[in-house]
Amino acid sequence: MNAIKKAGNAANVFTRSWANFVIKFKWPVLLVTLILAIGLGSQGGMEFDGDYHVFFSKSNPELEAFDALQEKYTKDDNVIIVLSPLNGNIFTKENLTAIEELTAESWNTPYSSRVDAVTNFQHTSAVGDDLYVDDLSYETSLKTDAEILEIKEKALKEPLLVNRILNKEGSVTAINITVRLPGENLNEIPGEVTPFVRNMISDFKEKHPNFEVHTSGLIPMNTAFFESSMNDMGLTMIMLIIVIITTFILTRNIWSTLATLIIVIFSIMSAIGFVGLMGIKLTPPSSVFPTMILTLAVADSIHILVTMLQKMRKDGLNKIDALKEAIRLNFMPVFITSLTTVIGFLTMNFGDVPPFWDLGNITAFGMAMAFLYSTTTLPALMAVLPVKSKARKEATKAGKNWYVGLGNYVVEQPVRLTIISFLVIGGLTYLATKNTFNDEFVNYFDETVPFRTDTDYIRDNLTGIYNIEYSIGSGESGGINNPEYLKNLNAFEDWLNEQPEVIHVNAFSEVARRVNRSMHGDNESFYRVPDNRDEAAQYLLLYELSLPFGLDLNNQINVDKSETRVTVTVDNITSADMIAFSNKGETWLRNNTPEAMHAIGVSPTLMFSKLGFRQADSMFKGNIVALILISIVLMLALRNFKLGLLSIIPNVTPVLVGFGIWALYKAQINTGMVIVFGMTLGIIVDDTVHFMSKFLRARRELGYDAKQAVVYAFETVGKALVTTTIVLLAGFSVLSTSSFALNSYMARITVIIILAALIIDFILLPSLLILTSKKEAVAVEKVKEAQIAFDK
Amino acid sequence: MKKTIFVITALITLGIQAQTPEELGLEIAKAAEQADLGFNSSTVNLKMTLKNKNGQTSERSLTTKTLELHEDGDKSLIVFNSPKDVKGTSTLTFTHKVGSDDQWLFLPSIKRVKRISSNNKSGPFVGSEFAYEDLSSQEVEKYKYKFIEEKGSLVVVEQDPVDPKSGYTRRLVTYNKDKGYRFEKVEFYDRKNALLKTLVYSNYKIYKNKFWRAGTFVMKNHQSNKETILEFSDYDFNVNLSDEDFTQVALKRIGG
C-alpha cells in the first residue's frame, strides 16, 4: 500500500507543480501553445474523397475480386439518367428525338467510354444474306409515325433493353453513361463529371420540360458521399454554437466561454494539421471528427472551469488559488478520461474499414491535444483574463438536494434495484440479438438526399440498382465459343431469370442467341446458342465487326475470349439476402457446370453487404482489447482490483441496453455502428471513474459506510455527470441529424448508450457498490488511514 | 507528281504563308497519297497481339491483300489464319471516297458470304484497339485537313473525319516529308476531344524504292491502358492482283 500511496502523493505533487508552472509562465505557455496550434493548423489540408473504394481496405477480398474482374473487362463507373416523359410514352417522335440528342450529348461527359440508350441500341436484323447492325433509332426526327411504331415494337421485345434501359410499359427509359476514371486526382468526379452531367441535365430540362429526370449510379453515389462529408463538416458550426451556449450556461462567465472556445478551436486546428500531415483524405465517416473533438474536448475545459468558478464563488478563493486548486483536482480525472477516450478511438484501427481508422486516429490525436491545451493554455488564459469573483450563489442547493434525494432512494433498496436493473438489461440484451446487419448502400442516405430519392424512383419504375457479377471462365483460349460452354452459360442465365429477386440478366449467351437468329434470317427457332464452335466463333467475329465505337463487347468478353461476364440486376434486398443470393448462384454453378465455369459473385453491392460482417468480426478483437485496457486503467486509477472488475458491468451494459433499444427502434445495424462499443466505452467510463472514486474517497478518507459513501458520491459528482452527459448528448444529437446513415445511426445509438450509462451509473452501480461492500465492511473500516485519491 | 512534292516541300520549308492552314493540310495529304501511288497491289502477313492492362495477351494472325484503285477507294481482302475457330474467315472491303464502304464477310463454317450492312466502322476490329476505320484505306476525301506545325522533316496535320459516325473528333497525323510522307505517328481524339489512342509506326522498310511500309504498328489506348501490336511480314508487291481477286467468289475461294 505504501508504494501506491507514494505514487498518489507523487501525482499530487506533480499536478501542484504543473499548475504553479503553467500559471507562473503563463505568457510563454500561451505563446508556445499558440505557435503549436497554428503550426499544426498550417499543415492542415482538407481533401474529400467520395470514391466508394475508400470503404474497403486494400486487402479486402471482395474488393480484390471485384477489381480483378474490372481489370479483366472494363472498369464501369456509371451515371444513369432516367427520363420519364409526362405523356407516359417514350415512343413519340419528339420524345425519341430528345433522347437521341441527350444520348449524343452524353458522349461528351468527361472520361466517358460508353453510352447506352434506347436510341443507340445496336439492333441486329437480317434480310437475305445481309446482316444489319445499326442504331435502333438514328436520325429520329426524319422518321415516320409507322417507323416509330416499329421501333417501339422492337424495343419492347428486346431482352437487353427491357427492365434495364426501358420499362415494360415503354414509359420510362434510361441513358447509362459508363465513365472510365483515370483515378489520378480527387477532383475527377466532383470537379468534372458531376458538374458536366448536372449542367447537361438542367439544359435538357429547360429545353424539354415535358420530361421528368432522375439520376443514379456509382458516380452520383460518389458525389453523394462527397457532399455528405461536406455537410457533416458543416455540423461543426452548429456544434460550436452549442458549445458556446452550454459553456456559458454552466459557467455563467463570458471569459470562461471564450477560453473554452479557444481550447476547442486549438484542438480542432491541431487535428486538421494531423489530417494534413498524415495525408488523410476525408470521407463521410471521418469528416465528423471536428464535431467529435468539440463534444469530447469541451468536457475537459468545463470540468476545470466549473471547479475554478465554484472555488471563487463559494469558497471565496482568489482567482489564482482557485485556478491552482481546479488544476490539482481535475488534472488526473481529465487525464484518465482523455486516456480512455483515446484508447477507445484507437481501437477503431482493429476494424476493416479505413474511414473509421481515420476517424479513430484523428479524434484520438485531437483528444490528446485537447488534454494538453486544457491543462496548459486554459489555465494560462484564465490567469491572464480578467475573471472576477462574484457573490456566492445559493441556487445550486436545490439541484444538489435532488441528487442527494436520488442517492437516498437508491441506498434504501439496492437489492430490488439490482434485480430490476438486471431484468431490464437482460431483456434488452436478448432484444439486442434480434438486430440484423444491413449495409444497403442506398439506405446510407436518408430521404433528404436526392441520390436516395432518385434511386428509389428508379427502383420503383425501371430497374434495380443492386447487382452481382460473375466472370465465367471456359478454361481455354477462345473457349467462349464452345457450344458446351454456351449451353451451360445459357442454363445459368435461365436459372438466374427464374429467381424472384432478379430483375435483369445480362449474359453473353443472349448475344450468341441473337446473332445466331440473325444469321438464320431472323428465324425465331434459331434464337438459341449455336451448336458448332466454328460457327459461334465466326458469328461473333462478324457481329463484333459490326459494332460502333464505344458499344463493343469488351465490357463483356475478355481479351483472350476465354471468359465472359454475367451481370445480374437484383431488387433492393438486404445485405444478408444479397450474400445468400450470391452464394446460391455460386452453388448452382458448382452443381451444374464444369469446374472452369465455377465463379464467385462480386460487385460493389456485395462488397457493402459483407462490409458490416467483416467490420464486426475484426472489431470484436478490438473491442475486447479496449475493454481490457480501459479496465486496467480503471483499476490503476481507482487502485482497486475488485472495483475495477466491477466497473466492467456499468461500462458494458449500456452498450447492450443501447442495442436492445435499437432493436425496438430500427433493428437494422450498419457498419458505422460496429465501432460504438470501443468508442462509447472510452467515453462512458468517465461516469464510472468519477462516481467510484468519490465513493472510494468517502470510504477511505471520510470513513463512511457504503450507503453513506454512495450518497456522498451522488452529492459531489451527480451534477458534474449530468453536465457532461448533457454536453455529450448535445454533440451526438447534432451528429444524429446527419443525412448519412453510417454517421447518424452511430450517433443515435451513442445517444442512447450515453443516456443508459448515466442511468446505470445512478441506479445499478451504487446498488452494486452497496451489495458488494457489505461483507467486507469491517475490513474496509480498518483501512481507515487517509489515502490520497487522485481526485479529491 | 514528283514536281508537286517538290513544290509543296519548297513551300513548307520556305515557310511561305500564301496558303491557309486548311489548304496546306490538304496539300500534304494529297502529297502523301501521291507518294504512295502506283504500288498496284500487295499482300502481307500480319500478326496481331492484344494486350490488356495486366499484360495478358491474345494473338490473331491474318493475311491482307490490297488492290490499288484510282477512281475510287482501294479494295482489300483480309483472311484470318488463327485463332483456329475463325480460320478461313475473310472480309472483302471496297472503300469509297464518298459514302460508306461496302463490306462482305465469308464464314467458312456455313460456307456463306454475308454482307455487313453497317455504317459502323468505329468499333474495335476483332477486339483490338484498332477500329476498322484506322485500318481501312486512307482516302483523302474522308477527312478535312489543317496544317499544324513542322519540325525538321516532320509535319503535323490535323484531320477531321467527314463521317458523322466516326468515333473521333480529330486525328493528329505526323508525316515524314523526307521519307515519302510516310506516317510516323497518329494521335486519336475521341468524341469529347480527349486523347484516346496513339499509334506509332516503326521498322519502316522501303519497297520498290518508293513505297514505305512500317513493319510494326503499336496502338496504345490511353483511357483503357490496353495495347495492340501489329507486326507485318513478307510484304509482296509483285503479286499482280486484279479485280477478279476481289469479288465475292474470290472471297469464298480464298476462305474455303
Q: 167-186 in A: which are within 8 Å (CB) of B?
A: 180, 182
Phi-psi sector, A282: left (phi>0), alpha (psi -120 to 50), beta: beta
Q: Give the pLDDT score at B13.
A: 54
Name the band, by pLDDT with cuts 50, 70 and 90, for residue A784. Answer: very low
For chain A, how big is the Rg over CA atoms in Å? Answer: 33
Instruction: Tell me: pLDDT of B86 over 60.
Output: yes
Return the HEC string of A274-329: HHHHHCCEECCCHHHHHHHHHHHHHHHHHHHHHHHHHHHHCCCCCHHHHHHHHHHH
**What average pLDDT does the segment B32-43 reach?**
86
**What average pLDDT does the segment A54-77 reach?**
86
Q: Give the pLDDT score at A690.
A: 83
Within a domain: B31: yes
| Ranges A261-270, A391-400, A443-452: which has the least confidence | A391-400
Name the band, by pLDDT with cuts 50, 70 and 90, for residue A547. Answer: confident
Joined together, the cell numbers standing for residue B144 give 478535312
Q: Give the pLDDT score at A783.
A: 41
Q: Give the pLDDT score at A617.
A: 85
**B51 → chain A, closest CA residue:** A559
CB-based contact, A14 to chain B, within 8 Å? no
Name the band, by pLDDT with cuts 50, 70 and 90, for residue A787. Answer: very low
**A181 → chain B, closest CA residue:** B223
Q: How many CA atoms lie within 13 A of A593 on its CB side?
A: 27
Nearest Cα of chain B lies from the Cα of A191 at a distance, in angstroms, of: 17
Dist. CA A643–CA A504, nearest whole Å: 60
Nearest Cα of chain A lies from the Cα of B110 at a distance, in angstroms, of: 7
Interface test with B, best of A546, A547, A551, A563 (most B CBs within 10 A): A546
Extended strands (E) in A161-237: 173-179, 211-216
CB-based contact, A523 to chain B, within 8 Å? no
Within a domain: B245: no
Percentage of chain B lying above the pLDDT 90 cut: 30
According to DSSP, the β-strands at A563-570 and A502-506 are: antiparallel
**What average pLDDT does the segment A553-572 reach?**
90
Dist. CA A694–CA A675, nearest whole Å: 30
Percentage of chain A lying above the pLDDT 90 cut: 43
Dist. CA A96–CA A138, nearest whole Å: 10
Within a domain: B161: yes
Contacts of A589 (CB under 8 A, 6+ apart): A470, A472, A492, A597, A598, A599
Residues in chain B with CB shorter than 8 Å from the CB of A72 are 52
Angle A84-A88-A89 (CA atoms, 0-180°, nearest 5)?
Answer: 95
Name the band, by pLDDT with cuts 50, 70 and 90, for residue B12. Answer: low
Within a domain: B93: no
List the single residue in A542, A550, A559 with the smallest CB-CB distance to B114: A542
Contact A304, A334 (CB under 8 A): yes
Residue B199, domain CATH: 2.50.20.10
Q: Give the pLDDT score at A786.
A: 37
Q: Give the pLDDT score at A443.
A: 86
Instruction: Tell me: pLDDT of B26 over 70.
Output: yes
Q: How far apart are the first and last CA of chain A?
A: 18
Contact A468, A570 (CB under 8 A): yes
Q: Give the pLDDT score at A267.
A: 94
- AA letter at A410: V
- The alpha carbon of A271 is separated from its chain's Cα centroid by a whole number of angstroms, namely 20
Within a domain: B19: yes
Nearest Cα of chain B lies from the Cα of A547 at a distance, in angstroms, of: 5
Percentage of chain B lying above the pLDDT 70 cut: 90
Dist. CA A295–CA A727, nearest whole Å: 7
User: Is the N-terminal amide bond of A379 cis, ω within 30° of 0?
Assistant: no
Name the band, by pLDDT with cuts 50, 70 and 90, for residue A493. Answer: very high
Contact A600, A67 (CB under 8 A): no
Within a domain: B181: yes
Instruction: Tell me: pLDDT of B227 over 70.
Output: yes
pLDDT in tens, A326-372: 888 888 888 988 999 999 999 999 988 999 999 999 999 999 999 99
Instruction: Tell me: pLDDT of B87 over 50.
Output: yes
Name the band, by pLDDT with cuts 50, 70 and 90, for residue B5. Answer: low
Do the chains contact at B167 and A519, CB–CB below 8 Å?
A: no
The 8-class DSSP code of residue B167 comes to: S
**Mean pLDDT for chain A?**
87
Dist. CA B12–CA B24, nearest whole Å: 8
**What average pLDDT does the segment A757-774 reach?**
90
Q: Give the pLDDT score at A7.
A: 56
Residues in chain B with CB shorter than 8 Å from the CB of A481 are 85
Extended strands (E) in A157-201: 173-179
Instruction: Tell me: pLDDT of B234 over 90.
Output: no
Within a domain: B94: no
Do the chains contact at A546 and B123, CB–CB below 8 Å?
A: yes
Dist. CA B155–CA B175, nearest whole Å: 5
Residues in chain A with CB shorter than 8 Å from the CB of B123 are 544-552
Q: Is A330 helix (H, G, I), strand (E, B) or coil?
A: helix
Dist. CA A479–CA A167, nearest whole Å: 34
CB-based contact, A8 to chain B, within 8 Å? no
CB-based contact, B91 to chain A, within 8 Å? yes
Domain residues for B48? 2-65+120-236
Name the band, by pLDDT with cuts 50, 70 and 90, for residue B64. Answer: very high
Within a domain: B219: yes
Q: Please give the tally of structural domains in chain B.
A: 1
Instruction: Tell me: pLDDT of A394 over 80.
Output: no
Q: How many CA atoms lie within 13 A of A466 on its CB side?
A: 26
Dist. CA A753–CA A288, nearest whole Å: 19
Name the band, by pLDDT with cuts 50, 70 and 90, for residue A620. Answer: confident
Nearest Cα of chain A lies from the Cα of B157 at a distance, in angstroms, of: 23
According to DSSP, the β-strands at B211-221 and B227-236 are: antiparallel
Instruction: Tell me: pLDDT of B157 over 60.
Output: yes
Dist. CA A247–CA A623, nearest whole Å: 32
pLDDT in tens, A406-423: 999 998 899 999 999 999
Do the chains contact at B124 and A554, CB–CB below 8 Å?
A: yes
Name the band, by pLDDT with cuts 50, 70 and 90, for residue A727. Answer: confident
**B222 → chain A, closest CA residue:** A182
Do the chains contact at A561 and B124, CB–CB below 8 Å?
A: no
Dist. CA A161–CA A29, nearest whole Å: 70
Residues in chain B with CB shorter than 8 Å from the CB of A560 are 56, 58
pLDDT in tens, A499-536: 999 999 999 999 999 889 888 888 889 999 999 899 89
**What average pLDDT does the segment A273-293 reach?**
91
